[in-house]
Structure 1
Amino acid sequence: MTSRVDNDDTLRIEWPRPLDAEIVLRHVESGEECPAGDLTVLSPGDWTAFCRGEPVATDDPGFSLDGLWAYAESRRSREIRAFRTPGGTLGLRVREVEPYVEVIRVTADDGVIQAEGAIAYGDPIRGEARLVAVPRRGPEPVSGPASFQGRWFEGALEIEPMTVNQVRSRVFWDLYAEIDGTRFPLATRLDDIVDKKTKVRFPAQRVAQIRVRPYYTETDSLAVAVSVEEATS
């Protein structure tokens, strides 16, 4: 069987459905049950699909990059995604979302970090913008030129300003697209790569004894680690 959540938050299942069988969704933590016909009432968290009291088995991982991109092109405050549980049954994951830039490409070279991507869960935007790096503590934010063309975003940021007057051994900077005073986090969440923080590595650049490297956080947001390297004898 295959299963998808359509853009209108309707669960579509292709399978030899038993006669007079209704799919019921059960919240994994609370045990709350809801009919699968109305996903708008589902509370955040993971839900398991049941039919006639038994979990619905599936060999479909629930992943379609094209489908997820189409879903993310609609403005929404909640994401509902079908997936296959470790036990091989159909599940739904419901979570609250806000507009952000889904990063497609990151380039770190020649003293610059460049990012390209598209707005997810928000409206198209057009105009000049900024790629902003915000430290979690310490220095002031720094920024570089960027632009929005509909959903598409491109921005570049010189790394040298992030290294000026660094007094801590390591400073972490979170990246945002900013336009008209509104900031959109940069992240990569529509693919099927889990644990990007340990699996995806970008090239490091250096300014004197300071290393600058983009990385993914535990929430798949794009950030930059600026570290003072120990001098070698």
Structure 2
Amino acid sequence: MKPHAEIDEVWPRDGRIRLVGRIHGRTTDGTDGTDGTDGTDGVDGDWRLVLIRRAHPGRRLDYPARLQGDRFESEWPVADLAASDYAAVEEWDIHLSDGSTELRAGRHLDDVRGKKKIFVYPEQRVGGLAVRPYYTVKDNLSLECRSRTGGTA
């Protein structure tokens, strides 16, 4: 399995989304760890959580990721996802990056397939936007932002 940011916990509440997980398949020298080891000991560097707007990949948001060993934690305010040029539905893909490598965030090591239909997270509203985390058909974690008329957070 290729290196990725394995998500253990998703906490969408209080106007923020918090993720907790671990880096899987990456060694200290930046290789992919395919030599039979788990490849997670001593991951170092300045890691950031990166949100990439799928329709406009040049539009990126990034936030500090706190690392302890191979474990990471990061959070961001839902309001940061509001943009004036939104379509009715926008999607953001989530990555963990050390500046040279971007690891896709997802949940692949739990033997549960088809998370898109199983895991349903609550939406949060900010202004006219409803935001909710969801798993893709490949069990990667993304964000869905839908235009809503009226509501406020």
TM-score range, shorter chain: 0.7 to 0.9
Asked which structure has the greater CA Rg, the reply is 1
Work out the CA distance in 2 between the residues paired with 1:113 and 1:154: 11
Question: Alignment partner of 1:122: what SS?
Answer: coil
Alpha-carbon offset, residue 209 of structure 1? 1.4
Determine the C-alpha separation between the residues in 2 that align with 1:165 and 1:177. 26
Query: 2:123 aligns to what?
Result: 204
What is the alpha-carbon distance in structure 2 between the residues aligned to residue 219 and residue 190 of structure 1? 12
Find the partner of 2:76 among 157, 174, 188: 157
Q: Looking at secondary structure, tell me which structure has more strand per residue.
A: 1
Q: Are 2:47 and 1:129 aligned?
A: yes
Output aligned runs, 1:20-39, within 5 Å. none
TM-score (ref. length: structure 1): 0.55
List runs of 5+ in structure 2 lacking aligned partners.
28-39
Counterpart-to-counterpart distance in 2, 1:221 and 1:143: 18
**Using the alignment, how far apart are the partners of 1:156 and 1:131 within structure 2?**
8
Q: Return the letter of the residue paired with 1:161.
A: D
Q: Are the aligned partners of 2:119 and 2:135 in contact in 1 as well (CA < 8 Å)?
A: yes
| Deviation at residue 230 of structure 1 after TM alignment | 4.1
Instruction: State the shift of 1:231 in Å.
Output: 4.7
Counterpart mapping for 1:87-166 below 5 A: 97-123=1-27, 124=40, 125-138=43-56, 140-166=59-85
Cα distance, 1:157 vs. partner?
A: 1.8
- Unaligned 5+ residue runs, structure 1? 1-96
Q: Is the Cα contact below 8 Å between 2:127 and 2:150 reproduced in 1?
A: no
Spell out the pairing of 1:179-218 with structure 2 (5 A cutoff): 179-218=98-137
**Structure-2 residue corresponding to 1:174:** 93
How many aligned residue pairs are there? Answer: 136
List structure 1 segments (4+ residues) > 3 angstroms apart after TM superposition: none
Between 1 and 2, higher relative CO (CA 8 Å, sep ≥ 6) is seen in 2
Paired residues of 1:102 and 1:190 also in contact (CA < 8 A): yes
Give identity over the alignment, percent.
29
